[in-house]
Structures are given as C-alpha cells and as structure tokens.
Amino acid sequence: MYGTLSETPSSQRDGRHVLVVAGDPDDTENLATALKLASYRVETAGTGAEGLVRISEHRYDLVVWDATLPDMARHARGRRRAPADRPPLLFLTTCDWLPTLAPELGVGAEDYVTKPVRITEVLARAQALLRARNPERQEGVPRYGDLVLDDATCQARRGTRPLGLTPAEYRLLSHLMANAEHVLSKEQISRYVWGEYRANPAIEKLVSRLRHKVDQEDPALIHTHRGFGYRLGAA
C-alpha cells in the first residue's frame, strides 16, 4: 500500500531509531511506514508492557507512545522514575485524555499530538524533539538554492517569501528536494504524498498548485518531463 523501503529517499536524519507503541494496527502501520519513508529505523510494540520491555532492552532516539493504551497509567508512574537518558516521548492522545496527560509533560523531552493522527504533525514534532534533545546533531535545514524547508514547523520559503503550503504540497516539495535533479514518476510521488496510488489528474493538480507557489521567481525550479514525471532543478 505504501511502496517498499527501497523507494525511501535519502535523508538528513542518519537513521535514528524510533519505537512506536500503539494498540491500533492501522495507526501502527501508518506511523511506521511514514517514519520509515522519512529514513528513521522503526520498531513497534502493541502494548505498554511490551513498550517498556523494549525501552529497557534497547536504546532509542525517540518513542512515539499511544497515551490511550489500557496500561498507560502504569507507564506514567514509570516516567516519574525514568533515568535522565530516557528517550524523548511523543504521545498520541485524544482531547478526553489530554487533561490527565498534560500536567506531567516534561520540558523539551516530551510532546503530544491529538488523534486522529496527522502524519505531517507527527514528523514535525518528532524532529523538534530530536533537535531539542540532541542539538549537537542538528544539520542545516533542507535547501535547494533559495528554496528552504523547515521540517520542525513544516514551513517552506523561497528567499524571504513564505510559500504557505498545504500538508500534501509540503510532502511533495520535500520529496522533490530530497531527490533534487532526479526525475520522480507520478506513481513514486503519489505513494509518498498520499501513501497510495492516485490517478494522474490528482497528481497533476497538486504539482500545478505547488509550482504556482514556488516558481513566482526565476529560475523556475519544478520541471515536467512528459511521459516520465517531475524534477526539482535549476534548469
């Protein structure tokens, strides 16, 4: 449904190790696939107990944890006793659960996103947590010429002009930038942006909207290769 890992683009994230602890198989699959496509190394656990075992046995750079798991309360008690080198936590929660979770959130080491999960928000907050925990590992923000992406905020700009991209447009631009100077097929783009194949008109409309926002200055950066796909490049 999401393509194979052989299609994963190159990344600046150095294969950081992420554990996803979630009870819903669909949430687990979607999160794991998106993180793998972003070049994280991913393991999964289906219960809080299993998650705790994995954390005790392995070293992770980040843990994505479903706060609504039935055994969440036991884990919350363990958080207060957690060692200083415990990995940052990104909680998945609902509005109903948030009031019980928020008072215990640590500064800089923990954050949350509310359900239903938005993959772009998960990726942005995960990157922000990793940067806050490991500032020495921060790389320069992704850029191509005067085109700049900020994965921490999911914002893009060309020069000083903000582009105001939608989530799908941002994912498309990120994928094109990660593969700059290479032609990406419509199927590759579709599976990366939406996680599934969509008909050509949907891809063409998305590319057209992105081109309208990006290529207001010279040189044009988004190019069509008829019969093949699209490429980000200066010429």
pLDDT tens profile 101-156: 544 444 346 788 888 888 888 888 887 777 766 544 445 567 788 898 887 778 89
Please tell me the predicted confidence (pLDDT) of residue 136.
41
In a domain, 67, yes or no: yes
Quick one: 131 and 200 in the same domain?
no
Residue 83 lies in a domain: yes
pLDDT in tens, 185-198: 998 898 888 877 88
Predicted confidence at residue 149, as pLDDT, reads 86
Kindly state whether residue 60 falls inside one of the protein's structural domains.
yes
State whether 122 and 191 are in the same domain. no
If you ran DSSP here, which 8-state letter would residue 186 be given?
H
pTM of the model: 0.51
Residue-range definition of the domain harbouring residue 218: 167-232
> Which residues are CB-contacts of 26 (< 8 A; sequence separation ≥ 6)?
none
pLDDT confidence bin for 220, thresholds 50/70/90: very high
Tokens of 207: 């590319």
Task: Flag whether pLDDT at 164 surpasses 50.
Answer: yes
Helix, strand and coil content of the chain, in percent to the nearest 5, comes to 40, 20, 40
Helix or strand or coil: residue 120?
helix
